[in-house]
Amino acid sequence: MSRDRAPVALGPLTGPAESLADQAVAAIRAAVRDGTLQAGQLYSAYQVAGYLGVSRSPVREALMRLAEAGMVRFERNRGFRIVVPGAADIAEVFQLRLLLEVPAARRAAARPPAGLAAGLSAELEQMRAAARRPDERLFMQHDQRLHRLILEAAGNARLAALVDSLRDATRTLGASTAGRSRGLADIAAEHAPVIEGIAAGDPAAAGRAMSRHIARTGRLLVAQATAAGRPPGSLGASPAGGPDNGADLWAAADLQAARK
Amino acid sequence: MSRDRAPVALGPLTGPAESLADQAVAAIRAAVRDGTLQAGQLYSAYQVAGYLGVSRSPVREALMRLAEAGMVRFERNRGFRIVVPGAADIAEVFQLRLLLEVPAARRAAARPPAGLAAGLSAELEQMRAAARRPDERLFMQHDQRLHRLILEAAGNARLAALVDSLRDATRTLGASTAGRSRGLADIAAEHAPVIEGIAAGDPAAAGRAMSRHIARTGRLLVAQATAAGRPPGSLGASPAGGPDNGADLWAAADLQAARK
DNA sequence: CTGTCGCATGTAGCATGCTACATGCAGCAT
DNA sequence: ATGCTGCATGTAGCATGCTACATGCGACAG
């Protein structure tokens, strides 16, 4: 090493921490949120590329990632479509979220990192504020952040990433549920006992509360999808499924059995 | 509709059910299994494309999917590397498998589809046969099939796909554990109580057996990765992790708590 | 002998060209 | 009128061209 040289401490620049494909993913997610890309409608990677001012490659890559998450679906030589998850899809996603997020909440309560409870309370407060406006987009944003804090506290990065991916599959549902805005405050309230359980270091309570919250949300969305059928005319991919669709989120029942 | 025409019933050809990218994924997985692509070594999409006789596009796509599963890692402007999972990675994967496969086993036992028990027994027999040879590759193949049968029986397609993806991340470990071939019969034996539990329609027993099996495997691999350090000189990406690495697969302990 | 620099080499990432194919619609036979 | 057929249109998927950059190595200054 050289002798005298001003020691410079610079972040390694992180490189292009955000490749065009990453940006495209974010842009498409945003476009779906605000309705620029409507669910059920057929689009092409061509137009999206032009719309974003980049070539088709990164757009295609972004779409493929989202397709793997179940948010979009490719139709060979036709285009791609924003997927409206059917009741069966919603049930699957929420079954998985139960399996993953409930233990995460327990873990977070058992070994809460410093400052976790404070961060959670802050997010909850933001959710309540957003519910009062009401601003559903903002609400969902803080909801996601709250859940993410818990998942990260569980200390398993893959778990957090997985749940993020699962949320993508049901992302179209949040914005499309008009008239449900009245329930935002209720949804926020469901998070309170989770936070209390974590703050109190009570894994069982935190897990129970999280289980209730997710199961309730899942049941509501499944029922909504089942009842509404296909209101606008979009076709929700409902592969198989059968009549006992969702099986009332068997994981919830499964957890009950395990807790016996 | 026309009047008289022989009604022909042909499968819709499934289209190119196997795109080049899909084939590339399979080929790369196989190459990793049989050592054509060595873990820790640096390769490029260029050479793989030539090796497979296709262009870089589908190869890149395949690599990106595998990267998302954690099997390979891209290094900007350098190439890609078959990831040797560190102890922390292994712990994460097996935590998740516990969270997902244990409930799946319970569900399969609670609602066993027709013929499931028979199929499971057949796979187990194949595993035993492979253990006697011993043929580790064949063994692992039937092991995966057995697990997949259970996951599919749980009736959640995403769950099955997820676990498949998780297996990719630890795929390099199976073939590299020389001298462990003696334990193949033991591993096969661990599956027996799972099958019995499912056949008997006893969810609790099936779940317990599956939990033991996965936790044991995970602990073994974590210990192996921790002890061996880095034998050949390959660098296993061990981001953070700390000393309490793996935390003995907290999910296992978490399940104990839940079963209280 | 040691540390630094410049260059050749090779890659990921992005842009763009090319092909087979799925669909919609007009024209035609019936 | 009605159902089939051929073609124009537009897309996914694959192949290929292009650029910035990360690294290894050898020349060279100190």
Residues 6+ apart with CB under 8 A from B247: A155, B91
pLDDT of A18 reads: 83
Q: At residue A197, does pLDDT exceed 80?
A: yes
pLDDT of A242 reads: 45
- C1' nearest to CA of B58: which nucleotide? D14
Is residue A182 very low, low, confident or very high in pLDDT (cuts 50, 70, 90)? low
Q: What does the alpha-carbon distance between residue B229 and residue B234 come to, in Å, rounded to a whole number?
A: 10
Contact across the interface for B159 and A259, Cβ inside 8 Å? no
Mean pLDDT for chain A?
Answer: 84
Is residue B224 very low, low, confident or very high in pLDDT (cuts 50, 70, 90)? confident
Distance in angstroms between the alpha carbons of the first and the last residue of chain A: 64
> What confidence tens digit (pLDDT) does each residue in B160-198 have?
999 999 999 999 887 555 556 568 899 999 999 999 999
Q: At residue B232, does pLDDT exceed 70?
A: no
Q: At residue A253, does pLDDT exceed 60?
A: no
Question: A90 with A173: CB under 8 angstroms?
Answer: yes
pLDDT of B229 reads: 58
pLDDT of A28 reads: 96
Q: At residue B259, does pLDDT exceed 90?
A: no
Positions of strand D less than 7 angstroms from a protein CB: 3-4, 10-17, 20-23
pLDDT of A248 reads: 67
pLDDT of B254 reads: 62
Q: Which range has the worst mean pLDDT, A19-28, A237-246, B64-73, B163-172?
A: A237-246
Is residue A258 very low, low, confident or very high in pLDDT (cuts 50, 70, 90)? low
pLDDT of A33 reads: 87
Is residue A225 very low, low, confident or very high in pLDDT (cuts 50, 70, 90)? confident
Mean pLDDT of B102-130: 96
Mean pLDDT of A35-43: 92
pLDDT of B252 reads: 61
Identify which has the larger pLDDT, B104 or A232.
B104
Give A45 CA → D2 C1' in Å.
Answer: 38
CA nearest B92 in A: which residue?
Answer: A156
Q: What does pTM read for this prediction?
A: 0.87
Edge-to-edge, what's the strand order for the sheet holding A79-82? Answer: A42-43, A79-82, A72-75
List residue ranges whose Cβ is under 7 angstroms from nucleic strand D: A 15, 43-47, 56-57, 60, 74-80; B 1-2, 19-21, 54-58, 61, 76-78
3-state SS assignment for residue A72: strand
Which among B159, B122, B127 is positioned nearest to B142, based on CA atoms? B127
Q: Which amino acid is at A99?
A: L
Two tokens at A120? 């959670």
Q: Which range has the worst mean pLDDT, A78-82, A221-225, A240-244, B47-51?
A: A240-244
> What confidence tens digit (pLDDT) does each residue in A97-140 have?
999 999 999 999 999 999 999 999 999 999 999 999 988 889 99
pLDDT of B15 reads: 54
pLDDT of A4 reads: 47
Mean pLDDT of B94-103: 96
> What confidence tens digit (pLDDT) does each residue in B46-65 have?
999 999 999 999 999 999 99
Q: What does the alpha-carbon distance between residue B53 and residue B63 come to, in Å, rounded to a whole number?
A: 16
Question: B102 with B255: CB under 8 angstroms?
Answer: yes
pLDDT of A203 reads: 94
Which of A254, A259, A260 to mutate to test binding with chain B, by most B CBs within 10 Å of its CB? A254
Contact across the interface for A103 and B100, Cβ inside 8 Å? no
Percent of all residues in chain B with a pLDDT value above 90, rounded to a whole number: 67
Beta bridge partners of A82: A72
